[in-house]
Structure 1
Amino acid sequence: MGSAGAPVIEVAGPTKRYTGVVAVDDVSLSVRRGEIYALLGLNGAGKTTLIRMLLGMIAPTAGTVPPEPPSWPPSSPSPPSGRCCWPCCSPGWAC
């Protein structure tokens, strides 16, 4: 999209391993303000695991994720209407 500015979310190769399973393997992602991304994949592809790492719910086995989960701008007490949220992390937000 060509957005300028520093990334608001940036991950460098996070990997998550469970006993006998690699759930997420070396993902790199950089999202700037105004960009829109979608995570697509089959069941078990690691989409939820990646989101949980981004939100700080679980730690990666290797690689880096932001030290703090991304947040809505402080001037916005709730997500804009029509957008979904992560219900287990945001009590009271209607999805």
Structure 2
Amino acid sequence: MNYHGYNPWETPSEQLITLCENCHEHESSISKEAENTLVRSIKSKRFLSSDLFVLSEGFDNMYVVNCAEVTAYAIRDLFSNEDKMKALVRNYLSEIK
């Protein structure tokens, strides 16, 4: 388990999730595969390791609206829609001018 630089007992409460035994077992069994799949997917789009730091910072500062599952599906929908991605990039570029 990754405690993001903390010892388990120092982990901030808001970063912890309580799971039943079955859910904990399931999460533990697939977490490494899910993490590897995410990194592989990001790198397949030609993101560099330095870009992973930028994405990580974005996730650290992200507001989760509703719940993590709904937010994950919303992000997937955004990333899968060319028009939405173009609008997102246009908006970002106009803000940094």
TM-score, normalization by structure 1: 0.19
Higher helix share: 2
Between structures 1 and 2, the one with greater strand share: 1
Q: Higher relative contact order at CA 8 Å, sep ≥6: structure 1 or structure 2?
A: 1
Task: Give the structure-2-normalised TM-score.
Answer: 0.19
